[in-house]
Every structure is written in structure tokens, then in C-alpha cells.
Amino acid sequence: MEKFQLALLLKIAGIGSASGLLYQNNKLYIISDNSNYLYEYKISEEKLNKIALTENPQENIPKKEKPDFEAISNKDNEIVILGSGSTENRNKIIQYKPSSKKIKTKDFTEMYKLIKSQLSIADEELNIEGLIITDKTIYFFQRGNGESGKNGIIYADDDATTFNFKFIPFDLPKIKNVAPIFTDAILVDDKIYFLAAAENTTSTYLDGEVLGTIIGRIDLKTLALEKTIQIADNHKFEGLTLYKKTETNLEFLLCEDNDTEVLESDIYRLVISKE
């Protein structure tokens, strides 16, 4: 895993502030933190399709009003999109079924309240950036960029009638004396691969100077950190999805939030060893 290759693969016009992505069935699904669209990109055809997730969808939504979609995952052939929970209007969870084009929207406010209450997380500290859903467990990746620096994995049995959330903190190797914190995570076989960015800020709302991004691996059964490697000095990668895998290597696609109003997104290809 120490050796890696990182290169720009695609420039996609029509998407700004990309915050998460999911590759499945030869299509790349992308979310933006200031948009009410799910973007479907057919790589082979270089064709972009915009799927409206709400009535009267918008792009480049002002910071105070944006839904802040930061996490995208899949379960039972549905794409699951989750707001970060960092403000009151960022509490939506959306399920989209590509086969039927059906969309379900739910308010996740009460679930976020339960998480904060059980784990003593202040309102201004919650900031969910990644989501993994297995047959038994749901994992939220909390980006600890608040004053308390509460960075870690929140998890509970997904099939339980009463949720009992647990929290495992992660203190990751520092970049320029700043600890990287979670920006996304996915499951590959029995390993969690995650991105974490170092940013000079103590706010879940305001951005800071980007100092670099790492990729790391966590064992699913023990939730123990196994390895990390710094892959960038000045990129804040926020989205991670598996693209291809061989016996020796894993290929991922990454996106970064450019924090501008320009409707263009860069997609990077990252190759790492399985070792």
C-alpha cells in the first residue's frame, strides 16, 4: 500500500463542489454539497445525466441553505445519500433506485439527535462525511473538525428496533502538525478504505487551508487502523469509490470539493497495492 499512483482521469463539466461518488454498473454517481441533484455520468459515452432529488432543484445553493450532501453509499440496489447533519437544514437522507428511478426522502433529524445524545456530541460538532451500510451494521464517519476534534466511526446494528450507538475515535498521523480527519469511506471485502484531509480549521461550517490528504485502511471486524499513506499535499479529496481490483492492486476514483461556483469537477484515479 506504500506505493501509489495518482493521476487526473476525467474533467466533468456541469458538476460543481463534488463531495462524494459511487461507481456501479459502469456508471459514476456523484453528489455535490451545494446541489439538489444526483449526477449520473456514463464514462464510456462521456454523458452526464442530472437526477432531481427534490422539487425545484438548484445548483450552487448558498452555504446557509445548502443540503450538504456529503455521504453516498448503496444498500439493496438503492443509492443512499446523506446530509452531514452539521446544521438543521442538512438532515435529509435520500434513497434512489436506479432500476425504477424512484426517490424516497426522509428527515434524519431524530436519528442525528439520538446520535448526539448518546455519544455526547454537541450540535455544532456533528459532521458526517461517510456512510457504509452492511447487512447488520451501519457506520457513520464523523469528521472531527470541530473544536473538540471528535473524529471517528459511529456505528450501530442496522436491523435493531432500538439503536445503541457506539463511537471509536481515530487519531491519524499528522500533516504539517495538523491531524487529518475523515472525508469519506467505503468497504472493500472485509476492509474499510477511507480518505482523511488535513485542513487548518476548527469549524464544521467554515473551510480552512488545505494541507493534504491521506488514504488509510481499517479492519472491519476489529475496527483497528492498519495503514495510512499520504497521497496529496494540496488536494482535499472528499469522495472515494472502488473502480477496479486485481489480485494485487485496487483502483479507486476520487473527487474533490473545489469550494467554488465553477460547475466543473475533476475525477482522479488512484492505484494502490493490496499489501
The model's pLDDT over 203-217, given as tens digits with 9 standing for 90+, comes to 544 566 889 999 999
- In degrees, rounded to 5, the angle at the alpha carbon of residue 218 between the alpha carbons of residues 216 and 221 is 170
Give the Cα separation of 72 and 75 in Å (integer): 10
Strand partners, 230: 214
Q: What is the grid cell recorded at 165? A: 450507538
For residue 70, the surrounding DSSP H or E stretch is strand 69-75
In the prediction, which pLDDT does 204 show? 47
Give the Cα separation of 51 and 28 in Å (integer): 13
pLDDT over threshold 90, residue 250 = yes
If you average pLDDT over every residue of the chain, what do you get? 92
Q: What is the pLDDT of residues 171-185, one digit of tens each?
A: 999 999 999 999 999
0.75 exceeded by the pTM? yes
Q: What is the pLDDT of residues 75-128, one digit of tens each?
A: 989 999 999 999 999 999 999 999 999 999 999 999 999 999 999 999 999 999
Domains of the chain: 4-273 (2.120.10.100)
- What three-state secondary structure class fits 117? helix
Alpha-carbon torsion, ordered 229, 233, 238, 240, to 10 deg: -40
Give the Cα separation of 41 and 49 in Å (integer): 6
In the prediction, which pLDDT does 206 show? 52
Do 17 and 257 contact (CB within 8 A), yes or no? yes
Rg (CA), the chain: 17
Residue 110 DSSP label: H
Question: Exposure pattern of 190-200 as b/e (b: 16+ CB <10 Å)?
Answer: ebbbbbbbbbe
pLDDT over threshold 70, residue 257 = yes
Strand partners, 21: 30
Percent of the chain clearing pLDDT 90 (strictly above):
83
